[in-house]
Chain A
Amino acid sequence: MGDYLLAWRNIWRNPRRSVLTILAIVFASGLLVFMLSFQFGAYEDMIDSSVRLSTGHLQIQAKGYQNRPEMHKVIKNPDRLLGKVAALDGVDAVTVRSEAFALAAGARRSRGIMVSGVRPDVERRISSLPGQIRKGRYLRDGDVNVAVIGALGAERLQIDIGDECTLIGQGRDGSVAATVVRIAGIFKTGIDEFDRTTMQIPLSDFNSIFSMEGGAHRIVITTKALADDRPVAAAVRMMGEASGLTVLTWDEMTPGLRQSIELDLIGGIIMYVILVIVVAFSILNTFFMAIFERTREFGVLMAIGTKPFRLVKIMLLESLAMTCVGLLTGMILGTAVTLLFSYYGIGMGESSELMAQYGIADRLYPRLSPLSIIIGPAIISVVTFITALIPALKIVHMRPVAALRG
């Protein structure tokens, strides 16, 4: 106990120096808590918007559909699988989607478009698209021969709400598929590519137009939490009905998303480690100074029989105490600032236009998590401990007589 008190008192011998040292640690740990929460929040938003808009957390598809989507690669009996999947633990919702490429024609202009058949009632629960209708309404159960289309697609085809649009494509069996749909709604997700090339129609219409004969291209599953994706995928793979089919998680369907998150995280961690090393060198002088100005004192203590390792221990306690005070204060401040911003959000300014292409909202909300609070301070405590060890070990080589003279 005496050693702890001694270490604590030693810190306050030179309050100005200690406060500056602690402030450096407060700054670094506070900043890291905020930055990591910010990054994690952005990642979660990106994953969530991609999962909600297009892939879901998991999909069941026929083998080979992911790389080369072709009409005839179908899940033959989706309904039985659907019921069993919905009963699994961790599954939030499950639906069926089918897709076909078709030539869409307005009054004059025509262009190719991806037509997707969906179940309106389930989509309302799992997809973000129904909430992004800018004009008109989303599909409803019981709708016949209506469609919603992306804003850019509508602009190119020069069609609006209530207008008719002709679709010509190829059915599952290779026959010609043709129909006329009326535009009920126009959506705008902000992702230009998506808004230009996508149209949704009710699944029942889709099945008859494209002669699906009960088959479906994708079973889309959303889970209650992001971390549930792998357990649910494993459970689905075990089902007898899933034999001959593939189960894909969101990151297998959008590998670019996962990789760019990894890339950004690695880049971030490199920056933070550099920052922490700079801070470490900034405070190394304090630790050295604390020892050198006390050489005589150590000499006396060693002359009356104190073991050098005890002195090392006291010095380490001293620097650890400073680090801990700094880390705690930094974590509290960082958490407070993060909470403030997670309430108000951070505007992305002019970058928001670029970010929108990746489904990132124009305001980002940092998200505090145990991980984002711990990682930064953990890096800092490891680095500062090494920093404190270097000068403290000097004491071991001190000789009492020489120290007394110094």
Chain B
Amino acid sequence: MDLVIAWRNLWRNPRRTLIILTAMVIGITSMVVLSALSRGMIDGMVDNAINNLVGHIRIQDPEYRVDPSIIRRITHPQQLLADITPLLPPGADIARRIKVDGMLGTSREHVGVIIVGIIPENETGISFIGRPVHQGRMINPDESGDLIIGQALLERIGARVGRKVVLVSQNQEWENVSRSFRIRGTYRTELAQTEKVYVFVLLPVLQEMLGVGEGVTEITVHLEQGKSGKDDGLAELVSALNTKIRDSGYIAENWRQMLPAISAYLEMYNGYMLIWFIVVFIAMGFGIVNTMLMAVYERMREFGLQRAIGMRSSRIVRMVMVEILLLLLFGSLVANGFSLFLIKIVFGSGIDLSLFAEGTEMWGMSRVIVPALSLWDLYTANGVVLVLGLLVGLYPAVRAGRFTPVEAMRHL
């Protein structure tokens, strides 16, 4: 009954209600849509970082991070693989790699690179090198003298596919070893910096060149999940892996540990969003209070009369609060529908920032931002509006409850 009365009271002055609803719909929509866009941006950053040969979990020698040289290697990866495979969830992909510092030389100049030895078929779906090549073709086991370099590096050294270059690195005796390779193809990534740094050769070829037998420097696990909010259980999985491989002397880490800067930002990210939600709420909060105050003062005589015939003031407060609750719920309902429309239909295929390609590149962002609606954002945005809305609504409601019959009758 109260609900019906409150609903009708709300529409006594349709223009006023519509105006404040418009303010709320714009406000809540901006909260939801902008949070989905920036969440999409962050997801893109995290995905780019993980696909940048990081993976979700990596097993390596604990010293490798500060001293990425070939002596910090996993000497018998087969044993380790047999140990960890049973622990991994279905859908997990595993890749073995050697990653060492080196130099790439042409007849004219040398540049610093990171030489990566890969098994091409294992990289599909794991990293950018598993995607189709940009020019030429992928290296394959029949052609051991081939390598793949980034398109940006190819342009930087002014070479063409088919040219020969020399790779130099250190073997485990600290001797420089070099070998000549033919550029078989180029790859492209979101980030030109990546293209300039990584060159790829076949794992067995690099193992032979460095004289390390079966050895690899890392085992990377790619899980079927990924997005920032959805990696519950990753920490548990990593500690289970570490327990299993404890005796080997190697260590498993998840991407949050490997990318501390991005993870730290992710930790703060929800806080930033909450601040934005509250700021937008304050902007519409003034309007909500003012509109409800007007609605309440207009009905002063009515409230006075109700008090005069014996209605308790707490009942009046409750009625006004129900009205505010309905206003808030209706506003957020419309706003969420509108937001979904914007996110799925209008921005569904993403916002293209190619005009700012070098700017997005600098931050490791993707050129196209696809909005990613997270439940946390949705609940928090609506939660902030409902909770704070009811809180500021107390002012007009309590004011309505305080009208005395005498005061009300005098007021024309």
Contact = CB atoms under 8 A, between A and B. Distances in A.
A31 interface: yes
B265 A350 contact: yes
B19 A275 contact: no
B67 A101 contact: no
B68 interface: yes
Contact of A110 (B20, B108, B176, B293): B176
B101 interface: yes
B170 A110 contact: yes
B356 A263 contact: yes
Contacts of B357: 259
Which residue of A110, A113, A278, A353 has the most chain B CB atoms within 10 A of its CB atom?
A278
B112 A288 contact: no
A263 B351 CA distance: 13
B280 A278 contact: yes
A282 B356 contact: no
A277 B112 contact: no
User: By DSSP majority rule, is chain A's interface helix, strand, loop, or mixed?
Assistant: helix
Interface string B1-35: 00000000000000110011011001100100010
Interface in A349-377: 349-354, 356-358
Contact of B101 (A23, A111, A350): A111
B291 A275 contact: no
Contact of A20 (B19, B22, B170, B289): B289
Interface string B100-117: 011100001111110000
A138 to B, nearest CB: 24
Nearest to A260: B359
B287 A281 contact: yes
A70 B174 contact: no
B343 to A, nearest CB: 15
A108 interface: yes
A17 B34 CA distance: 31
B156 A68 contact: yes
Interface residues of B, number: 60
B307 to A, nearest CB: 21
Interface string A89-107: 0000000000001010000
A350 B261 CA distance: 8
**Interface size bracket, A side:** 35 or more
A112 B112 contact: yes
Given A20-B293, A103-B103, A112-B110, A68 B158 contact: yes
A260 B176 contact: no
Contact of B19 (A17, A110, A288): A288
B142 interface: no
A124 interface: no
B60 to A, nearest CB: 16
25 contacts: A70-B109, A71-B109, A101-B111, A109-B170, A110-B176, A111-B112, A113-B112, A158-B67, A256-B362, A260-B362, A271-B34, A271-B276, A274-B34, A277-B26, A278-B283, A279-B286, A282-B287, A284-B19, A285-B16, A285-B291, A288-B16, A350-B267, A350-B268, A354-B265, A358-B362
Given A259-B360, A271-B30, A289-B16, 13 more contacts: A17-B293, A21-B286, A23-B286, A27-B286, A110-B176, A112-B113, A169-B110, A197-B112, A258-B359, A262-B359, A277-B26, A288-B19, A350-B264
